[in-house]
Structure 1
Amino acid sequence: MVSPAQQHAHPFTDIIRTLLREELPSLIELRHDLHMHPEIGYEEVRTSGVVLRELSNAGIAHVAGLAGGTGILAHIPGTGPRAIALRADMDALPINERSGQPWSSKTPNRMHACGHDGHTAVLVGAARVLSRLAAQHPLPRPVTFVFQPAEEGGGGGKRMVDEGALNGTRIGPAAEEIYALHGWPELAIGTIATRRGAVMAASDRFEIHVIGRGSHAAWPHQSADPVLCAAAIVTAMQSIVARNIDPLDSAVVSVTVIESGTAFNVIPDRAVLKGTYRSLSETTRATLERRITEVAEGVARAHGCEARCELLRCYPVTANDDGAVARFEQVARETFGPERVNTLPAPVMGGEDFAFYGAHVPACYWALGLARPGTPFPALHAPDFDFNDDAIAVGVELMCRLAVQEPARR
């Protein structure tokens, strides 16, 4: 019996799978090498060098030195006038690894705890397979490969866009759409998922400086205690999501840092609160900003203190384009069958700087399943996380199939 995926097989399916089987062992080795040598945002010097070596060995045109020095764009020609872009993030996190793998990090307080080593290996693999395919058959459109630094809070995606990753000024023609994956511990290995609209939240930061009046701890009546005030602000801020945001909407306000004082017997004269606020729309984002400021300033006044609020917008909402999602789902079902293609039930309140690409061209951010049957998979950013090598082939094949799909008519 012929499966639905076989009925709609792309003419390049067999050759892509043959080339992928040949490339896969070295891609797993590459992933392990990257995992052993993690580098945090804007410090991905060795990682960038490894990617450049792989591109050069494959004869793929590229430009380096973007986004502070470690960003890379690569290009494979095609017959169409505009390119499809495929993106991977390369940076690690400041975490001490406890995965116990033979390829564990060799650098203290550096770890690929978010799977960017896997993302990079997948995109290198897609570039190598597509380069070999293009030597035999013209691709239907050019492909731009975006190897990006500093996704983990550094805004590397914005810098790549600002420096020409999508507009054709650095290499190849302008991109007409872009796709990116993320390893997903909650999804079963061999499956994939995405959703229309918001997929990741806007991720922003606040810092509140509470200015009071210090005194001896034995004479608190002579103080305007910023510690007490800061504690009251933390408590009051919990009402923002509960009482100012529609219950059917989603938002987060989390205070994660409290700094104050230097001695047990001294009431200090100031305190600092730091944290994050997350939202899924510009309206909710603006409401959170207004209420964080109002609550902090109002509570501070009630305690005889002053609150100075600094709000920093970091990453916008990562929103998938309906058309890009439709094309992704069609290709994914044709490639793997409908039973392996899922819909993410809701957005995730984490942030992702892939949002900056989607502000310029239609974008689709998709989840690549990592979970092994019957075994809980470590969470992202956990010290025992390790990307599942069995997911590499799925990621490479789908990236290649997206690249060889005929461009959408507009």
Structure 2
Amino acid sequence: MMKLYQIKKEIELNINKFIEIRRYLHRNPELSMKEYNTTDYIIKKLQEFGLTEIKKINSTGVVAVIRGKSKKCVAVRADIDALPMKEENDLDFKSVNTGVMHACGHDVHITSLLGCAYILNKFKEDLDGSVKLIFQPAEEIGQGAKYMIENGALSNEPIPKAIFGLHVWPKIEAGKIYHRHGKMCACSDTFDIVIRGKSGHAAHPENSVDPIMILGNLICAIQNILSRETDPLEQGVITVSAIHAGDAYNTIPDEVSIKGAIRALSEDTRIFLHDRLREIAKGVCETFRASCEVNIHFGTPVSFNEDFVSNIIEESIIKYLGDENYIYNPNPSMGSEDFAYYGQVIPAAMYRLGTGFKNTNNAPLHSSKLLINEDALFNGVLSMVVIAFNLLEKL
């Protein structure tokens, strides 16, 4: 049985330690697949906390296990990488790594899971099974979850039957849990298109096939896919984010290349957007006597909160943190999350941890001015602990 009062007291006694951990991590961020110091620091802290079953995954990433009373197992995941941007906050613990910042709150994710590890190891005799702790690199480039799965995080003993994790959410007051069932985050795909026309003098466009003019028509046509061909209740986004053409004032170039992003909240919509983008690009270019090459790259899949795990999260928060700390999230996000890959293997769900300051216009995720209200750390640790206990009991 979970000793909730003692667990809360233990978190209170160690909250300053957890804040110090978070500040160290914030001061020393590392980019995707280069989280070498972060990995070693996580291992050091786990060892200090008394854990012995710790595995370093190649040069970056960690899996640790806390064994309880039965053979059941659940996993908890935290991503550990930072973003390539310069921090603009005036903090004593601001990033010392030039051009790198924990602007997506992964320092809080790591700290919450380390705190969870500390508490669960203290109370492991009460655990109805094992908890596998997954510290994952490279979420920001959408490669880390696959990397951990390929290296046995879900297939090596003990094999978890479910997995959960959290993500900070600065729009919500610190310590509140913001959660939804079903669709959580969109897929994240990219595309490259090259339009090939015929170069010529800018004063004599009739002698050329102008790929820039054709691109203008294509961009408008692409938006018609969403406004006129997609169910308004099925969210989707196609964004042209980069355009490269000629570099002279008086010359029509022979080709234009563009890059962009595709987001969708269902696999059917995802494939439909891919297919229509190819068809419309080809059709527009043929209409204006040009040709094109379209390459679409699959990225992170749609992230879906599986019913059983998602319901356990809701139940645990309301029962153990209090109804006042639970906020239902009515809308999925068009952002992406490579946590989705775990959900393709075992039941998975993720929730949001509020990290905002009350009555403040908090900077968003991926902002160089993101600030974390460290009051959130208590419930960051506690939420992971109670969900792990409850999930093991219900498996």
- TM-score using structure 1 length: 0.93
Task: State the AA in 2 paired with 1:41.
Answer: S
Contact 1:289 1:311 in 2 (8 A): yes
The 2-side partners of 1:406 and 1:360 are apart by: 17
Q: For each residue in 1:326-383, what CA deviation from the matched residue of structure 2 results, as whole angstroms up to 9, or x when unmatched?
A: 1111111111111221211011000000000111111111010112211111101111
Q: Does 1:187 align with 2:178?
A: no
The 2-side partners of 1:16 and 1:408 are apart by: 17
Once the two structures are superposed, the pairs formed by residues 341-360 of structure 1 within 5 Å of their partners are 341-360=326-345
Contact 1:100 1:384 in 2 (8 A): no
Contact 1:370 1:377 in 2 (8 A): no
Once the two structures are superposed, the pairs formed by residues 284-363 of structure 1 within 5 Å of their partners are 284-363=269-348
Runs of 4+ in 1 over 3 A off after TM superposition: none
Change (3 A) 1:162 1:268: same
Q: For each residue in 1:125-171, what CA deviation from the matched residue of structure 2 results, as whole angstroms up to 9, or x when unmatched?
A: 1111211222xx3421101000001111232111211221112x2xx
Who is 2:11 aligned against?
Answer: 20
Compute the displacement of 1:321 (Å). 0.8
Q: For each residue in 1:276-327, what CA deviation from the matched residue of structure 2 results, as whole angstroms up to 9, or x when unmatched?
A: 1111111111110011111111111122211111111101110001111111
> 3-state DSSP class of the match of 1:319?
strand
Contact 2:127 2:392 in 1 (8 A): no
- TM-score using structure 2 length: 0.96
The 2-side partners of 1:56 and 1:217 are apart by: 68
Who is 1:55 aligned against?
Answer: 46
The 2-side partners of 1:282 and 1:408 are apart by: 33
Structure 1: any 5+ residue segments left out of the alignment? 1-9
Who is 1:390 aligned against?
Answer: 375
Task: State the AA in 2 paired with 1:250.
Answer: Q
Q: How much is the aligned-residue C-alpha RMSD, in angstroms? A: 1.5
Pick aligned residue for 2:141 from 153, 157, 166:
153
Q: For each residue in 1:238-278, what CA deviation from the matched residue of structure 2 results, as whole angstroms up to 9, or x when unmatched?
A: 11110111011111111111111222232222111111111
Once the two structures are superposed, the pairs formed by residues 126-145 of structure 1 within 5 Å of their partners are 126-134=116-124, 137-145=125-133
Who is 1:200 aligned against?
Answer: 185
The 1-side partners of 2:217 and 2:330 are apart by: 36
Q: Does 1:249 align with 2:234?
A: yes
Who is 1:110 aligned against?
Answer: 100
Contact 2:2 2:389 in 1 (8 A): no
The 2-side partners of 1:295 and 1:108 are apart by: 43
> 3-state DSSP class of the match of 2:57?
strand
> 3-state DSSP class of the match of 2:74?
strand
Pick aligned residue for 1:100 from 85, 90, 95:
90
Who is 1:6 aligned against?
Answer: none
> 3-state DSSP class of the match of 2:95?
coil
The 2-side partners of 1:211 and 1:12 are apart by: 68
Who is 1:279 aligned against?
Answer: 264
The 1-side partners of 2:332 and 2:235 are apart by: 9
Who is 1:239 aligned against?
Answer: 224
Q: Does 1:37 align with 2:28?
A: yes
The 1-side partners of 2:294 and 2:4 are apart by: 55
Task: State the AA in 2 paired with 1:80.
Answer: S
The 2-side partners of 1:231 and 1:107 are apart by: 41
Q: May I ask how many residue pairs the two structures share in their alignment?
A: 394
Structure 2: any 5+ residue segments left out of the alignment? none
